[in-house]
Amino acid sequence: MKKAFKIVYVLLFFAVLCLPMLLMPFFKNDASLEKRQLAKLPAYVEGGRLNLNFSDQFEAYVNDHLPLRAHLLTASNTLKGELLHTQASNVIVGEDGWLFYGTEAADYMNTNALTDRQIQAIAVTLSLIEEDITGRGGRFTFVPVPNKSSVYGEKMPSRFRRASENNLTRLTDALQEHGVAFTDLKSILGDSKDPLIYHRRDSHWNYRGTLIGWNAIMDSLGKAHETYADADYSTEKTWRGDLDKLLLPAGGVMDDQIIYQIHHDSFRFTYPMGVRDPVAQLESYMSDKEEQDDLFTTKNADRRDGSALYMVRDSFGRALLPFMIDSYETATFKRTDCPNVAAVQDGTDLVYEIAERNLNRIIDTAPFLYAPIREGFSTEGMADGGALELHCDREGYGLRLYGVLPDDLPSGDCRVYLQLEQNGACITLEAFPICENKLLGTNAHNGFSAILSNELPLHGTYTVEIITGRTVFHCGTFTAE
């Protein structure tokens, strides 16, 4: 009898172990809840070679496709987050059921502080974009949308201590110093936080916050617009927050949404082409599906004023879409941290929107914009900084010159100039103060990057010097074809 019991026990034990694998074909987990691609079933052989990472990849596959995974995560996160108030699934559970992205904590406590030169580099980068846009007849405004915790810090758990300054407050000062046009949403939203303008269980603003933000953006651009100050609205518990989905993927709490009675203009999509129901397509772009929404363009059927918009945006920009479409005859929406400024047509307004938690991305890669020529530039009396390595990439659009600057450079105004000398004649251009770490395979803080247009009259060999912080660095030569 004991032997039979042991056999049954062992068989039952292995049956329980095998059950998840046996149930996998009958259960599918929803990748949209976690906003990432689920791991794929790995192959034993990849590229004609044995896959040495098969065990790790297979473990990731099993973890992602475990039957009832969403229910297990919900149970675990309910215990850790809602009951024990510890961070779970990159979600911070705050006071009164408020949820915050885990990555917001670094901005909130200023543990991710950028260097003074990096802050200045962001401001200079934006000033160069603004100079180009306004010089070609358009208007510009930079729109840093504050983190939810920057507006509703009182709802953060008490274990997180709020810093008196952070990257956004320091950048605000730098933007004012450089005279860059920006929309000070942190101040504006902070003064308008009651009634609620952010969702309790989502990382983004609700439609009341969106309307306040849109009015502020239009004011910053100096563009006439309807304020909708007296628009009727209702409050409906119809919003499933992104943080709620992360914390409780099997089913959580619906949030309030503000529904305005606003009639928006008729429009059509010029890209992608062939959209039969533009309203339904726009609703898809405004949702958190994030399906093929990296680039699209619209034409307003009710406007004939030639106005044009190019909007660089992230997920906060979703809710702004109908208002922006209403405001311009044509509008382009590009989801990116690295705008192609050279592609913006003359006379087009550029709105650069980005969430506070992503400010560092502005200087991850230099925007696509040809380096402007600077006249009357002299290096007389400047210090000699020694030699620097110059990298040169030739592309169809022109020539990119880039490199790394010393880490101990003082911040100063952070502007970087390239001086090209040939037979005593000099051409000076201003570069972006950005280190192209992706191209260089480095992790440096300071650098420079400039794209030289094919239209520049460059022929033969040039000696290159980099000038920044009243210091001259020697970079050898390059040959223009």
Domains of the chain plus CATH, in order, are: 93-363 (no CATH), 383-480 (2.60.40)
Q: Which of 331-340, 395-404, 435-444 has the lowest mean pLDDT?
A: 395-404
Q: How far is 396 from 266, CA to CA, in rounded Å?
A: 39
Comparing CA positions, the residue from 355, 274, 286 lying closest to residue 320 is 286
Residue 161 in this model has a pLDDT that exceeds 90 = yes
Q: Token pair for residue 370?
A: 């040809």
Q: pLDDT by residue (tens digit) across 49-98?
A: 777 776 666 656 655 555 555 555 554 555 555 655 566 668 999 999 89
**CB–CB of 360/337 below 8 Å?**
no
Q: Which residues of 336-355 are buried (b: 16+ CB within 10 A; e: fewer)?
A: ebbbebeebeeebbbbbbbb
**CB–CB of 59/72 below 8 Å?**
no
Q: How far is 331 from 333, CA to CA, in rounded Å?
A: 7
Q: pLDDT by residue (tens digit) across 384-423?
A: 999 999 999 988 788 999 999 999 888 788 999 999 999 9
CA angle 283, 289, 293 (to 5 degrees): 70
Q: Which residues of 245-282 are buried (b: 16+ CB within 10 A; e: fewer)?
A: bbbbbbebeebbbbeeeeeeeebebeeeeebeebeebb
pLDDT at 69: 57
Please state at what angle helix 69-77 crosses helix 54-65, rounded to 10 degrees: 80
Q: How far is 316 from 135, CA to CA, in rounded Å?
A: 28
Tell me the percentage of the chain whose pLDDT exceeds 90: 71
pLDDT at 291: 87
Greater confidence, 154 or 413?
A: 154
User: What's the whole-number average pLDDT of the chain?
Assistant: 88
Confidence of residue 41 (pLDDT cuts 50, 70, 90): low
Tokens 């420079």 map to which residue?
448
**CB–CB of 467/419 below 8 Å?**
yes
Q: pLDDT by residue (tens digit) across 105-116?
A: 999 999 999 999
Length of the chain: 481
Q: pLDDT by residue (tens digit) across 451-464?
A: 999 888 888 999 99
Q: What does the pLDDT average to over 242-261?
A: 89
pLDDT at 478: 87
Based on DSSP, count helices (H) and strands (E) in the chain, helices before strands.
13, 20
Tell me phi and psi for residue 370, to 5 degrees: -70, 140
Q: How far is 264 from 30, CA to CA, in rounded Å?
A: 33
Comparing CA positions, the residue from 281, 255, 249, 253 lying closest to residue 268 is 281
Greater confidence, 263 or 252?
A: 263
pLDDT at 27: 52
3-class SS shares of the chain: helix, strand, coil, % to 5: 35, 25, 40
Greater confidence, 280 or 411?
A: 280
Classify strands 391-395 and 45-46 as parallel, antiparallel or unpaired.
Answer: unpaired
The 10 Å Cβ neighbour count of residue 82 is 16
The 10 Å Cβ neighbour count of residue 143 is 24
**pTM (2 decimals)?**
0.86
pLDDT at 392: 93
Q: How far is 99 from 92, CA to CA, in rounded Å?
A: 6
Q: What does the pLDDT average to over 26-45?
A: 60
Q: What does the pLDDT average to over 423-433?
A: 94
